[in-house]
Structure 1
Amino acid sequence: MAVPFKNYFLVLLLLPNLQITGSWAQDSYSIANYNVFFDTPSNSGNLWEDRGPHLINLIRFHEMDIIGTREGLYSQVEDNSKDLNFPYIGVSKDSGKKEGEFCAVFYNPEKFQLLDKGTFWLSPSLEKPSKDRDAAINRICSWGKFETSEGDLFYVFNVHYDTLGQTASEESSKLLHEKITEINKEHLPCILTGDFYGDESKPAYQESNEEETLHNSKGNSLIPSHGGSRTFHPFNWDLLPEKRIDPVFVSSNFSDIRHANGTVNHCKKFPSNHFPVKLRPKIGKVL
């Protein structure tokens, strides 16, 4: 059965309404959402060879344990993996191999074990490179099932919506809900990172924040969120950030969430045209 678009964030995780009581098995981890912008020689003044080291140092300084990224080309993904010494999951959207942009998820191997992984395309032909209806290009979702050193299990889904196709975005939401429900049969905690090309003025955001099964982590931060409210900017120091399109959604079985937007720069240069969004949710079993 098709899911109405206005409810697409509400039903993404389809998790039970859990009452969180008691103590947790371990401290929080650092989860980040970061669109790194693809490497292109036409981006004069903001080339990857100049931006990349600052992006890596930012991740290191903030001790990000899992990073959901988008737009990185294979060379960028490999650079990040090597410099961080983090494995990653994901394949390219154009070929399912190395050609094109990735929705790569990097993770700290000292804190997490990868138990399962996968990628699907946001189209009716979800098992192979393809695009949906009015989408401008192929769009993709990569996911992983992780286990902490304390034995706690959770999922991370990382997605990139289309810039132009309204119908494609609506259908992507329905497909994403169906796939998350299909993959997460155990109703484990879920984190959804992504670039959704839509802000909180959309009905889907308003609907989702009224329910207890899925939360925009910014609105449910234990303490006031740190940093600015918008996440996208055009590499222009003289312009204010334009949009808030990189939310992180978490299921209701997370606790003590702390949220921040990383409005960072290096000598008036930015590591990416998106600011990273970071949160610290507790992941664990109720004791």
Structure 2
Amino acid sequence: MTTARRPASLLLAMAGAFLLPAIGSAAEPVRVMSFNIRYGSANDGENAWPLRREFVAETIRAFAPDLLGTQETLAFQRDELSARLPGYAVFAAGRDDGREAGEMMAIYYRTDRFEKLDGGHFWLSETPDEAGSKSWDSSLPRMCTWLKLRDKRPDGAGVFWAFNTHFDHRGPKARAESATLIRRKIAAIAGDGPALLTGDFNAAPGSKPYQNLFAATDAAGPALRDSYQIKHPDGEPGESAGTAGGFRRGDRGERRIDWIAFTPGWTIKEAAIDRTNRDGRTPSDHDPVTAVLERVEAATAED
């Protein structure tokens, strides 16, 4: 009895099938970092920006984010970080005039992975389209920068939106209203699409801004989830949850005011407070916070 010989093309196709990823296999995760780098013109003595900018860049490179949101970033800091972060593009505008003046909520993204489709800025005020505007009891103009990105990887995150912000440090009403505005703006800009939010919120879990941002049901916009709270509901054993203070490891306290949030359409794989230090000295007066997220269908995004 003889056996019919299969065509070589069929054999190659059968062999290749074993090398292809299984249907439904995990998507390529997105590594996200939020980092208040402390404005570079501050009179910080031994912690002045020129003495720590390399430390800041090294801390970022060590985590190797795909997406980075920075706060308190002046134009020269934006450029100096860009020079130290090869492979990243940056999108930013100054909060004072919407151009170069004032602190920026810069978003850096890896150009080998993401393509910028759209982007913009709005101010945390009753006139959000007016550059430099402020409302309520805000002490300074505050803003949010956003990008619409397409992941170039076929198993990546697809099209999604990234938002980066910094709430006022003095005005409690401004912080509460800003949280509500952010949710409305995410709904207006991203619709039901997947979005990420990074920022320094100058408020701790349980506060009114936190409640407004993470309320499970709210007509203001899509439900957001706190990446760190999901992964560490009881905190990390033996570690402080504080993310801001001075430039020493022991200055942090317990207030976790830097957050990475996400809408349905993602699942959180990892979340952490980056406690990098050298002999107790930290690269900024805030710790960066990090998250690793994976794009999934909204129906399964509650992991």
User: With structure 2 as the length reference, what TM-score do the two structures score?
Assistant: 0.80
Aligned twin of 1:15 = none
Percent pairwise identity: 27
Distance 1:178 1:203 in 2: 16
Distance 2:177 2:134 in 1: 11
Aligned twin of 1:114 = 116
The equivalent position to 1:241 in structure 2, one of 249, 253, 258, is 253
Distance 1:164 1:41 in 2: 18
Aligned twin of 2:145 = 142
Deviates more, 1:115-124 or 1:145-154: 145-154
Cα pair distance change 1:41/1:260, threshold 3 Å? closer
The equivalent position to 1:262 in structure 2, one of 270, 274, 286, is 274
* 1:285 positional shift: 6.0
The equivalent position to 2:163 in structure 1, one of 154, 157, 161, is 157
Aligned twin of 1:97 = 99
Partner letter of residue 263 of structure 2? S
Pairing of 1:215-230 with structure 2 (within 5 A): 215-221=225-231, 228-230=240-242
The equivalent position to 2:207 in structure 1, one of 202, 211, 221, is 202
Aligned twin of 2:29 = 28
* 1:169 positional shift: 1.8
* 1:173 positional shift: 2.2
Distance 1:206 1:130 in 2: 24
Task: List gaps (5 residues or longer) in structure 1.
Answer: 1-21
Cα pair distance change 1:48/1:26, threshold 3 Å? same
The equivalent position to 1:213 in structure 2, one of 210, 219, 223, is 223
Give a deviation string over 1:67-116, Cα, whole Å, max 9, x none: 11100110001111121021111200012111110000111111111111
Cα pair distance change 1:222/1:254, threshold 3 Å? farther
Pairing of 1:27-66 with structure 2 (within 5 A): 27-66=28-67
Partner letter of residue 32 of structure 2? I
Distance 1:270 1:110 in 2: 30
Aligned twin of 1:10 = none
Distance 2:223 2:25 in 1: 20
> 1:225–1:260: 8 Å Cα contact kept in structure 2?
no
Aligned twin of 2:18 = none
Deviates more, 1:199-208 or 1:260-269: 199-208
- Between structure 1 and structure 2, the one with the greater Rg is 2
Distance 2:58 2:115 in 1: 24
Distance 2:109 2:227 in 1: 20
Partner letter of residue 137 of structure 1? L
> 1:54–1:266: 8 Å Cα contact kept in structure 2?
no
> 1:222–1:256: 8 Å Cα contact kept in structure 2?
no
Deviates more, 1:93-102 or 1:205-214: 205-214
Cα pair distance change 1:204/1:43, threshold 3 Å? closer
* 1:132 positional shift: 1.1
Partner letter of residue 155 of structure 1? W
* 1:205 positional shift: 3.6
Cα pair distance change 1:200/1:222, threshold 3 Å? closer
SS of the equivalent of 2:162 reads strand
Aligned positions, number:
265
Distance 1:224 1:282 in 2: 23
Larger RCO: 1 or 2 (CA < 8 Å, sep 6+): 1
Task: List gaps (5 residues or longer) in structure 2.
Answer: 1-22, 299-303
User: With structure 1 as the length reference, what TM-score do the two structures score?
Assistant: 0.84
Distance 1:278 1:213 in 2: 20
> 1:209–1:216: 8 Å Cα contact kept in structure 2?
no
Q: Which has the higher helix share?
A: 2
SS of the equivalent of 2:122 reads strand
* 1:26 positional shift: 2.4
Distance 1:124 1:256 in 2: 33
